[in-house]
Amino acid sequence: MARKRYENYNNVCTTRTFLDLLRWSRERRAKKKDLTIQIPQHGAKQIKELYHNQNFPSITWIGHSTFLIQLNGVNILTDPVWSKRMGFQKRLTRPGIPIDELPKIDLVLISHGHYDHLSFGSIKKLKGDPTFFVPIGLGCAFKRRGYDQVVEADWWDHLRFDSVDFTFVPAQHWTRRTLTDMNTSRWGGWVIENTALDRCIYFVGDTGYFEGFKEIGDKFNHDIVLMPIGAYEPEWFMQQTHINPEDAIKAFVELKGKLFIPMHYGAYRLADDTGPEALERMYREWNRLKRTGDSLAVLKLGETLWLKNKGSQPID
C-alpha cells in the first residue's frame, strides 16, 4: 500500500530539480566565504543551575535548532542534534552545552525528520526516559529503534505533558531521511503553553515564509518566538523552505510576538550564507524597522535566558 505523502499549505511545491542542484553547485564554487569567523560561545554557562532547576522558567540555546526549555519543572528539548558532521560538512561551532552535562530530559519535541533536526545518535545519549512528541508519520522511525513513549501529531493537534500544553502548528518545508520516504511524515512547529506561568513559547522549526504565520498569530498569544534566520542563500533555491532574516522579522510581526530569539544559523553550512551574515542582515532589518531592543534576544551558544516567574524573580 502506498504511503501517505504530506503537502504544504496551498500545495506549495518545494521540489528542486537536478539542474537546480547543478546551478547551485556552480554558484557555490564561485563564492568565497570566510568561515573562520563564527558566532560566539557564552563563557559563563549556568550548567549547574540548569541541572538542578525546578522552579525558574528558562530557555537555553544549545545551537542550530536545539534548545533546552524548562517550564514548571519540566525539561523540554527541541530538535536534539549534537552531530559533529552533517553530510560531508563538519560542524562549525560546538554545541553550547555538552550532551552529557544536560539534566534529565522529560520531553523531546521534533519539528521534522531532516538529519539536522533529528539525530538518533544524539537521542540515544540523553539522560532520563523522555517522551517524544513527533510529527505524524515519524513515529515508526522511533518505535523500530525501541522508543515506545512516542506521540504523533498532525497540524493543529493539541497534546499535554504534565502541566504544559503543546500544539503542533504548520510550517512550509519538506522532509526526507531515505531515498524512498520523501514527505511521508509531517513537518511543523510547536507552540508551548503553560497557563500557571503565563507563558507561550513558539518553536517555529524549519520553514520558509508562508501565510500560515498570520493564522498562527491569531490563534495564540506568543510572548517568545524561537525563529530560524539562516540557510537562505541562494534565495532562488532556498526561499520556499528556509526563511531569510527579513522575512523572519516580518513573520514575527504577524505572529504578534513579544520577544524574538533567532536560531538555525551558525552550526552547519546547509546553504551559502554564514552565521555572522545572517545576524548582520537581521540586525540591519531590525534597525530599519526601528524595532525596540528589548524585544530581541540574540543568545550566544550555551547562554540561558531566565524568565520572570509569577511570585518570584529570575536568576541573574
What are 233-281's pLDDT values in tens digits?
Answer: 999 999 999 999 999 999 999 999 999 999 999 999 999 999 999 999 9
CA–CA dist 245, 230 (Å, integer) = 7
pLDDT, average across residues 280-290: 97
Count of domains observed in the chain: 1
Decide if 146 is inside a domain. yes
CA–CA dist 264, 57 (Å, integer) = 22
The overall average pLDDT reported for the chain is 94
CATH code, 223: 3.60.15.10
Q: Give, as one character, the DSSP assignment of residue 242.
A: S
Q: Which residues contact 234 (CB under 8 A, 6 or more apart)?
A: 24, 27, 271, 272
Specify the DSSP element, H or E, that contains 285. Answer: helix 275-288
pLDDT at 92 over 60: yes
Decide if 214 is inside a domain. yes
pTM of structure: 0.95
Q: Which residues contact 161 (CB under 8 A, 6 or more apart)?
A: 74, 106, 107, 131, 133
Predicted confidence band at 45 (pLDDT cuts at 50, 70, 90)?
confident
CA–CA dist 240, 147 (Å, integer) = 33
Phi, psi of 288, rounded to the nearest 5 degrees: -60, -40
Query: What's the pLDDT score for residue 87?
Result: 86
Decide if 27 is inside a domain. no
Query: What's the pLDDT score for residue 2?
Result: 67
Decide if 10 is inside a domain. no
Decide if 12 is inside a domain. no
Decide if 2 is inside a domain. no
Full domain range(s) for residue 99: 44-304
* Angle between helices 275-288 and 245-255 in degrees, nearest 10: 50
Predicted confidence band at 105 (pLDDT cuts at 50, 70, 90)?
very high
Angstrom CA distances, 210 to 116, 119, 214, 277, stand at 22, 27, 9, 23
The partner residues of 194 in beta bridges, in order of sequence, read 199
Decide if 14 is inside a domain. no
| Beta strands at 158-161 and 164-169: parallel, antiparallel or unpaired | antiparallel
Query: What's the pLDDT score for residue 34?
Result: 87
pLDDT at 315 over 60: no
Which residue in 111, 85, 80, 98 sits closest to 227, CA to CA? 111
Decide if 36 is inside a domain. no
CA–CA dist 251, 255 (Å, integer) = 6
